[in-house]
Amino acid sequence: MNTKIYPDREDVLSIGQVSRLAGVNRETLRYYEREGIIDMPKRKDSGYRIYTLETVKRIRFIKRAQTLGFSLKEIMELMALRNDAQDAKCRDVKEYAQDKVKTIEKKLADLKQMHSRLLELIAVCDEENSLNTCPILDAFEEESNNEN
């Protein structure tokens, strides 16, 4: 289906058109509306939602930021910086990106540690042992007891 977009009209996009153009489902759009992530759309007399191209642009921004690990809360803060371009500087956004890199590095270190520990447990597992002497299960019990 061809989606005609008329730049001189703001009321040409239906929820289905925005969904397709932005690459999200309709429930995501409704969720973003409820949470205030995107503006509530105007409605036709029939009650159908009327969206603008700006909505598509905003949703694409959100989805791209999410692929880089930003939470919806962080994305809303970044969008607020963009909207407050008078006082905000690029360094403000850079700080968000630097904080995200630190978070990712921490997660990577945690994943490497988990990977190593699992490999150690796999190496000592004798497949013929009964579950009562399974070193993997035993390690889970030991490690959970050490955490308390």
| Domain span including residue 54 | 1-88
DSSP-derived 3-state class of residue 50: strand
Q: Does one domain contain both 61 and 18? A: yes
| Residue 3 scores a pLDDT above 70 | no
Answer whether 20's CB lies under 8 Å from 2's CB: no
Q: Does one domain contain both 21 and 84? A: yes
pLDDT in tens, 17-55: 999 999 999 999 999 999 999 999 988 888 888 999 999
Q: Does one domain contain both 32 and 80? A: yes
- Note the pLDDT of residue 133: 83
DSSP 42: E
Q: pLDDT > 70: what percent of the chain?
A: 88
Q: What is the CATH number of the domain that holds 28?
A: 1.10.1660.10
Give this prediction's pTM. 0.72
Q: Does one domain contain both 118 and 132? A: yes
End-to-end CA distance of the chain: 59
Rounded Cα gap, residues 78 and 88, in angstroms: 10
Q: Does one domain contain both 59 and 98? A: no
- Note the pLDDT of residue 4: 46
What is the pLDDT confidence band of residue 99, given thresholds at 50, 70 and 90? very high
Q: Does one domain contain both 23 and 55? A: yes
Q: Does one domain contain both 76 and 10? A: yes
Q: Does one domain contain both 114 and 67? A: no
Cβ neighbors of 49 (< 8 A, separation 6 or more) are: 14, 15, 41, 42, 43
How many structural domains are present in the chain?
Answer: 2
